[in-house]
Structures are given as C-alpha cells and as structure tokens.
Amino acid sequence: MSPPIRMTSTTRAVLEVLLAAARQDVATYGLEVCKATGLGSGTVYPILTRLERIGWVRARWEESDAELRGPRRRLYELTGEGRAQAALAERPALSSRLGWSGHAR
C-alpha cells in the first residue's frame, strides 16, 4: 500500500519541523516552518494543506489579542497518524522499502 502523499525532500523537511514541535508538545505556524526549512511559503503552505487534507496535520487559528500581537496566525500540529508517518519518514531504509521517493537531501 502506498502512502497518500509523495514523500519528497521538501515534504520530509516540513514533517521534521512539525515532528520537532510535536516532541516539545507545541504547535508551530507556517512562517516558522518556512524559516526552519529554508523553503518559501509557496512551497511550505501547499505541503501543509496536503498534510492537513490527508489527516496528518491539524490546523487551527491562534487565539490571541490581535491588537497586541498583530494578525492571528494559523498553527499546525501533527495528528497521531502524522506523528507515526513523520517518524517513519525519518527512517530512510524503511521509507525506501515502502516505496517513498525523494529521500536524498
């Protein structure tokens, strides 16, 4: 059975950032993912949208006082399934056996 998303190096990079945040039990926002991966928003946000669509990521709007901090941010966090898949993506040998592509960095 193939995964519902193509595991490219950019997708892996986004998942690594989300997994690091999950290990600290925090959600992260899109611009933070862009900065951490060195990828542009035109790359990161479509990946986050696809990950959310397949159920690996949950997104919510930040609860904040906009007057004090600026506009609200959309926060992203891995679901249980997303954590499991991100952990698998960290293991290149297993990813290779599953037929996932784009393992080189």
User: Which one, of 84, 34, 29, lies nearest residue 55 by Cα?
Assistant: 84
Taking only the tens place, the pLDDT of each residue in 6-65 is: 888 899 999 999 999 999 999 999 999 999 999 999 999 999 999 999 999 999 998 866
CATH number at residue 43: 1.10.10.10
Residues contacting residue 81 through CB under 8 Å, at least 6 positions apart = 55, 56
Stated pTM of the model:
0.79
Number of domains in the chain: 1
Whether 84 maps to a domain, the answer reads: yes
The answer to whether 55 and 77 have CB atoms below 8 angstroms apart is no
What pLDDT digit, counting tens, does each position of 52-70 carry?
999 999 999 988 665 566 7
User: For residue 79, which amino acid is it?
Assistant: T
For 46, the domain range is 9-97
Specify if 3 maps to a domain.
Answer: no
